[in-house]
Structure 1
Amino acid sequence: MVIVSGLSGSGKSVALKTFEDLDYYCVDNLPVELLPDFVRRLLRDDGLPERLAVGIDVRSRHGDLSRLAEWRKAAHDLGMDVRLLYFEAEDEVLLRRYADTRRRHPLSRLGLSLPQAIAREREMTRPLREEADAVIDTSTLNVHQLRRLVTTEHALGQSPGLSLLFESFAYRRGVPVEADFVFDARVLPNPHWEPDLRPLTGRDARVREYLDAQPEVATYVRQVAGFLDTWLPRLRNDTRAYVTVAFGCTGGKHRSVYLAERLAAHFRQQGWDEVATYHREQD
């Protein structure tokens, strides 16, 4: 079992998603005091997953994080090899990430400003940091570099290879600087102009059905897939560790998200081991 913890905005969700893509059984926001009971329940069931990843952090409102060592030992006594990863980043980086995503800090419910919430969270999670098997500073890492780090250094039994990230973005917020290939989806029909589809994203079935029915979308997907099918295997034999393929549209909500998910599914079907998606304006 890997326990994923640390500061909000430091990449814990990316790490958990990475473990899930690597066939770990994942649970996020597990109250810390329920860890032994969670292990007991799994041990009673047939087909216990070989690898587990559990997210534990300050969202556990009533749990005493300082008792993690106690609960961790209880899980270990039940037969689990338990490792703790603590993710953190510099304050200015966390502030910028929150400004980019416009998400609320989990401690904002206490009436704290964002800098105060970050400081309080550092204090509350200090016992986890002291208990951690590894402390991972993500200040200088992009999403794909973080996934690569988790895969190569902290995921047991996984062998490194060329990993693919399919990313969606909004052109109005700029092209991702880490992208190796960029495809413009603004030429395709826009679900935004369909009132019942406007609130949805490219991950929703109704948006997928709408775009699947457009002949030009089918042509676009076929041509882009053909291009990537031809050239990505060449990069697999190169010295690079990862490739980022980015799709952009006006708002980063419908067409680009749909294409990133569609092409990621295509390459998983082609047998590529590590394929991930990241939706910059949504995640």
Structure 2
Amino acid sequence: MRIILITGISGSGKSVALNALEDAGYYCVDNLPPRFLPQLATYLADAGQERLAVAIDARSSASLDEMPAMIRDLSGRHDVRVLFLNASTQSLIQRFSETRRRHPLSGSTAHDADVGLLTTLEEAINRERELVAGLAEFGHQIDTSNLRASVLRAWVRRFIEQERNGLALMFESFGFKRGVPLDADFVFDVRTLPNPYYDHELRPLTGRDQPVIDFLDAQPVVHEMTGDIQAFLVKWLPHFRDDNRSYLTVAIGCTGGQHRSVFIAETLAARLADQVNVIVRHRDAPLDINETSKPPT
């Protein structure tokens, strides 16, 4: 059975992800105490269920310490994947303020030994980061700070469509003006490259449009930087495979996340597609390419 565990920070989009998985045919459970996960997996597998998605967060703080061992145990019998959703503290505070929802750890009382007395929203968020930090290393991370719900749903669909076959290399383009993605393992800054933005005809396009591709492809310095990044990844990918990593996120950043970073992310994905499973996503480019982006062939 394929099991998707959704975890991370409250307010980062776990409900959106769980709904996307339900639409994809998964049997979904929200806020399951971790200690019941093995029994649920066994029960559903015996009943013929092939897909299970479970959201686990700080509301189960008392048993979160059990999760790493449980994930390793379940992985011996099922195809287990962990999706860790994160967001900046500023984004989370804004979301809780707009929805007027209460953070799960807000107002915790002193008799709760696992949490303690938390009087502010920021304290609750920071405490939750501590509680779930150990789960981040087990799976694929998505920073939802600047994502629309529709983009997150598209990224979740792409995550579950990816075949589990060793290491998956994620190329994510972004714009520095909106901050560096929290989920990045490596960040490469390509703002020194010639910028199509200053050409009025190229400005409304993206790095997937042929005129922008032709512009950047004609710049020797673009090829030099792309080659350097490629050489670095080719050299170190075997070491990440040996470390049993499932996902490695390489973030490519330019000023706005629309032209140079998109082009280089797509180019690197195409060049490395025959060596490793690749996924491409574009955080700050127009919505249509977030929905449809695939490495070119």
Instruction: State the TM bucket, normalised to the shorter chain.
Output: 0.5 to 0.7
Secondary structure class of the residue paired with 1:59: helix
Which consecutive unaligned segments of at least 5 residues does structure 1 have? 158-238, 244-283
Q: Structure 1 residue 240 and structure 2 residue 272: aligned?
A: no
Return the letter of the residue paired with 1:37.
Q
Paired letter, 1:31:
P
Q: Which moved more, 1:121-130 or 1:108-117?
A: 108-117
Alignment-derived partner of residue 72 in structure 1: 71
Q: Secondary structure at the match of 2:128?
A: helix
1:24 is aligned to 2:26: yes
Alpha-carbon separation, structure 2, partners of 1:108 and 1:135:
25
Give the 3-state SS of the residue equivalent to 1:109 in structure 2: coil
Alpha-carbon separation, structure 1, partners of 2:89 and 2:38? 33
- Report the secondary structure of 1:27's partner residue: strand
> Any residues of structure 2 matched to 1:2-41 within 5 Å, and which?
2-41=4-43
- Name the SS of the counterpart of 2:36 in structure 1: helix
CA distance in 1 between counterparts of 2:45 and 2:83 reads 23
CA distance in structure 2 between the partners assigned to 1:130 and 1:156 by the alignment: 19
Instruction: State the Cα deviation string for residues 177-235 of structure 1 (Å, max 9, x = none).
Output: xxxxxxxxxxxxxxxxxxxxxxxxxxxxxxxxxxxxxxxxxxxxxxxxxxxxxxxxxxx
Residue 156 of structure 1 deviates from its aligned partner by: 5.1
For residue 50 of structure 1, what is the aligned residue in structure 2? 50
Equivalent position to 2:88, from 87, 90, 96: 90
* Of 143, 157, 161, the match for 1:151: 157
Q: Alpha carbons of 1:242 and 1:74: their partners in 2 closer, same or farther (altered >3 Å)? A: closer
Deviation at 1:155, TM superposition (A): 4.0
Distance 1:20 1:99, change over 3 A: same
**In 2, Cα distance between equivalents of 1:54 and 1:155:** 17
Write the distance in 2 (CA, Å) between the matches of 1:75 and 1:86. Answer: 17
- Give 2:66's aligned amino acid: R
Q: Work out whether residues 26 and 54 of structure 1, in 8 Å CA contact, stay in contact via their aligned partners in 2.
A: yes
Q: Distance in 2 between matches of 1:153 and 1:74?
A: 22
Aligned to 1:196: none
- Aligned mates of 1:104, 1:134 — CA distance in 2: 27
Give TM-score scaled by structure 2 length: 0.50
Query: 1:102 is aligned with what amino acid?
Result: R
Q: Is the 8 A contact 1:35 1:72 kept in 2?
A: no
Structure 1 window deviating more from structure 2 (35-44 vs 147-156): it is: 147-156
Give 1:75 deviation, angstroms. Answer: 1.9
Evaluate the alpha carbon distance shift between residue 74 and residue 68 of structure 1 in structure 2; reply closer, same or farther with a 3 A threshold.
same
How large is the RMSD of aligned CA atoms in angstroms?
A: 2.0
- Give the letter aligned to residue 5 of structure 1: T
Residue 70 of structure 1 and its aligned partner are, at CA, apart by 1.0
Q: Which amino acid aligns with 2:69?
A: E
> TM-score normalised to the size of structure 1?
0.52
Mapped partners of 1:41, 1:109: distance in 2: 36
| 1:1-283 superposed matches below 5 A | 1-45=3-47, 48-63=48-63, 65-77=64-76, 79-110=77-108, 111-131=118-138, 133-155=139-161, 240=288
**Structure 2 unaligned blocks of 5 or more:** 109-117, 164-286, 292-297
Tell me the distance in 2 between the aligned counterparts of 1:33 and 1:103: 27
TM superposition shift of 1:87:
0.3
Q: CA deviation at 1:242?
A: 8.1
Secondary structure of the 1:119 match is helix
Contact 1:35 1:75 in 2 (8 A): no
The aligned counterpart of 2:185 is none
Name the SS for the 1:60 alignment partner. helix
Amino acid at match of 1:71: M
Q: Which runs of 4+ in 1 moved over 6 A?
A: none
Q: CA shift at 1:15, angstroms?
A: 0.3
Cα offsets for 1:137-185 (capped at 9, x unmatched): 001101111111111233457xxxxxxxxxxxxxxxxxxxxxxxxxxxx
The 2-side partners of 1:6 and 1:12 are apart by 8
Aligned counterparts of 2:21 and 2:80: Cα–Cα separation in 1: 15
User: Identity of aligned pairs, percent?
Assistant: 41
One-letter code aligned to 1:145? V
Matched AA of 2:55? G
Structure 1 letter corresponding to 2:42: R
1:105 partner amino acid: H
Q: CA deviation at 1:89?
A: 0.3
- Partners of 2:288 and 2:78 lie apart in 1 by 35
Quick one: distance in 1 between partners of 2:160 and 2:107?
Answer: 33
CA 1:86–1:68 in structure 2 vs 1: closer, same or farther (change >3 Å)? Answer: same
- The number of residue pairs the alignment matches comes to 157
